[in-house]
Chains A and B, each alone.
Chain A
Amino acid sequence: GAGVSQSPRYKVAKRGQDVALRCDPISGHVSLFWYQQALGQGPEFLTYFQNEAQLDKSGLPSDRFFAERPEGSVSTLKIQRTQQEDSAVYLCASSLGVLALTDTQYFGPGTRLTVL
């Protein structure tokens, strides 16, 4: 497929467990973003990669959240010692270019994380 893909689509974790969420961006897209969407809210920015470089992680809510994109394509968002407040949909987006206002971000279907 040509779009952004994410896996798993659904994840249930017990409080305290570690989880890893995967994002496959559109091939050739330089920029990759992670957003968190709480129930009934709009997505909120977590972090941004340009190729393999993580240029902005200001939106990560705590040091339990960690993201990587080691080869400049696939990215993984890891959450350690999950808490109930981490329950949300995690959206990944990619865009072709770098830092242009007109660059459209294309989103994946998201991973719905539920922490019990």
Chain B
Amino acid sequence: AQKITQTQPGMFVQEKEAVTLDCTYDTSDQSYGLFWYKQPSSGEMIFLIYQGSYDEQNATEGRYSLNFQKARKSANLVISASQLGDSAMYFCAIRSGGSNYKLTFGKGTLLTVNP
């Protein structure tokens, strides 16, 4: 079984500052992928960034980067230079070799960017 834990129900950040959203995971598989999605109030899940378990470098995608610490089983999302439009729910998800099509999501973190 796979599990994602997001311990921050809500986070606040000032516009233009950086913020880290926490994610820890549990899986018995050696091969897995970690995903972050953004869900604004409109409801659509927007893909942000992917990290493979065998990737040696942390993933980056524009203002998004992933702080991947495999030994600690953590995959924290870092958003740099926050913008008002970043206010949304953020979900971490895992997909592993044992069930490599379905995503298992955490409960999410609600990020609010203050002007």
Contacts and interface: CB of A to CB of B under 8 A. Distances in A.
Contact of B44 (A33, A45, A105, A107): A107
A107 B42 CA distance: 12
How big is chain B's contact interface, by range? 20 to 34
Interface stretch (B11-19, B70-78, B80-88, B105-113): B105-113
Contacts of A43: 45, 91, 103, 105
Interface in A11-35: 31, 33, 35
Contacts, number: 65
29 contacts: A31-B101, A33-B103, A40-B107, A42-B4, A42-B91, A42-B105, A43-B91, A43-B103, A43-B105, A44-B105, A48-B101, A48-B102, A56-B102, A91-B45, A101-B31, A101-B32, A101-B33, A101-B97, A102-B50, A102-B52, A104-B35, A105-B103, A106-B47, A107-B45, A107-B47, A108-B44, A109-B43, A110-B43, A110-B44
